[in-house]
Amino acid sequence: MSVKAESVNTSKSKASSSYTKKDFTSDQNIRWCPGCGDYSILAQMQRVMPEICEEMDIPKENIVFVSGIGCSSRFPYYMNNYGFHTIHGRAPTIATGLRVSRPDLQVWIVTGDGDGLSIGGNHLMHCLRRNIDVKILLFNNRIYGLTKGQYSPTSEMGKKTKSSPFGTIEKPINPLSIAIASKASFIARAVDTDATNLRDILLKTARHRGSAFVEILQNCNVFNDKAFSSFTDKTVKEDRLIYLKDKEPITFGKNQEKALAMVTGESGLKEVGIVNTNEADVADILVHDESSPGTALAFLLAQLDEAEYPVPLGVFRNISKPLYGELLDEQITEVTNQKGKGEFFEHLRSGDIWTV
């Protein structure tokens, strides 16, 4: 703990088991557009927080929200926790400095596809590869909303927007692929409107020790409405979404009658394909494994082209790795054991000294 000088008024502290949703609702008016997917994410977060606090025995003043710039980054203002609305793309840096110097805090980062993957791509990658113990929620709406409708790094190729009236000529980036390449220790995907599964993912994210990365597909009803409806609409979602379950075959469809399997493609090489569970050889059907130390399966699932394949939701990867902050603190302990606790005035007098 590095906080020494403050006098903390503990009488205001509330038992971590007695919170309700209201305790996490700030007095600020919410400024998102009516119908925005962010409302749903906020509501789930406020609902799940009491459960997180109780289960992890953490008081709400120790839970912190850090954001960058963009619609999603207004999130901290609406949570009644400590919050920091920082600058564009840089939330992971503030969160890193805070978390590394304050191991007692639970730190959440709220970012978007522009904030996290365009201007802040560098920080996201390094935060994940270091396994800083922070929870990153990336609201992906595939558009710049706050600046009123330009394309984002996740907008599909050819998309017509205010800044691309003739269609974009650049390929989008896949957020989960970045997280996997950075070897994030927890990687998941959820949809804003799917309250139950979103709450479940938020809870799992809270439990994870290490860098957690969650892509939340979030609808911007003003500038990019129905961006995900081709697979999230009620009418199609049974055939278009996969809910990943650890150690279980990867199946989907109304009666889980379809599955992902390794099949022999036209080229003669193995590739992922969709099979009927009744007809396929069970050995070929992919079985999900969150805790696989390798990243091949997670990458394969993340790379599935949503035009041809169903879209996987849930936890892609969940492994245990040493935390950056813990390794740093271990070094501090180790060096202190070796050298003894540093004494400042002794240190001033170290080296070659002469007396005049």
Q: Within 96-135, which residues bind another protein (CB under 8 A)? A: 96-102, 104-105, 122-123, 125-126
> For another protein, which stretch binds (CB under 8 A), given 229-237, 244-252, 275-283, 325-333?
325-333
Q: Let me know: does 17 contact 53? Beta carbons within 8 Å.
A: yes
Cα gap 42→25, rounded to integer Å:
9
Rounded to a whole number, what is the largest CA-CA distance in the chain? 93
Number of alpha carbons in the 13 Å side-chain half-sphere of residue 304 = 21
Establish if 328 lies at the interface with another protein (CB under 8 A). yes
**Nearest distance in Å: CB 40, another protein:** 21
> How many residues bind another protein, per CB under 8 A?
71
**Nearest distance in Å: CB 85, another protein:** 3
Cα gap 45→82, rounded to integer Å:
15
When binding is defined by CB under 8 A, the residue of 39, 47, 82, 243 that contacts another protein is 82
**What is the chain's length?**
356
Classify residue 272 as exposed, middle or buried by CB count within 10 Å of its CB (0-12, 13-18, 19+): middle
**Nearest distance in Å: CB 27, another protein:** 9
Number of alpha carbons in the 13 Å side-chain half-sphere of residue 155 = 26
When binding is defined by CB under 8 A, the residue of 30, 43, 80, 257 that contacts another protein is 80
Residues 204-223 that bind another protein (CB under 8 A): none
Cα gap 79→46, rounded to integer Å:
7
Establish if 346 lies at the interface with another protein (CB under 8 A). no
Torsion 9-15-19-24 (CA) sign: positive
Q: Which is nearer to another protein, 236 or 335 (CB)?
A: 335
Q: Which is nearer to another protein, 147 or 256 (CB)?
A: 147
| Stretch 144-183: interaction string toward another protein, x if CB under 8 A | ----------------------------------------
**Cβ neighbours, 10 Å, residue 110:** 30
When binding is defined by CB under 8 A, the residue of 165, 268, 293, 351 that contacts another protein is 351
**Nearest distance in Å: CB 186, another protein:** 21
**Nearest distance in Å: CB 228, another protein:** 29
When binding is defined by CB under 8 A, the residue of 41, 95, 201, 220 that contacts another protein is 95
Pairs from 38-41 (Cβ < 8 Å, separation ≥ 24): 38/71, 38/72, 38/74, 38/75, 38/139, 38/192, 38/218, 40/192, 40/193, 40/195, 40/198, 41/75, 41/137, 41/139, 41/192, 41/198, 41/216, 41/218
**Nearest distance in Å: CB 353, another protein:** 5
Q: Which is nearer to another protein, 284 or 326 (CB)?
A: 326
**Nearest distance in Å: CB 326, another protein:** 12
When binding is defined by CB under 8 A, the residue of 43, 47, 51, 84 that contacts another protein is 84
With tokens 């020790």, the residue in question is 209
Residues 6-65 that bind another protein (CB under 8 A): 6-10, 12-14, 26, 28, 59-62, 64
Q: Which amino acid is at 42?
A: L
When binding is defined by CB under 8 A, the residue of 44, 72, 93, 131 that contacts another protein is 93
When binding is defined by CB under 8 A, the residue of 166, 169, 308, 345 that contacts another protein is 345
> For another protein, which stretch binds (CB under 8 A), given 32-40, 91-99, 228-236, 301-309?
91-99
**Nearest distance in Å: CB 310, another protein:** 36
Cα gap 156→170, rounded to integer Å:
8
Q: Which residues of 188-221 are buried (b: 16+ CB within 10 A; e: fewer)?
A: bbbbbbbeebbbbbbebbbebebbbbbbbbbbbe
**Nearest distance in Å: CB 114, another protein:** 16
When binding is defined by CB under 8 A, the residue of 3, 169, 269, 283 that contacts another protein is 3
Tokens of 13: 């502290």
Closest C-alpha to 320, from 181, 246, 212, 180: 212
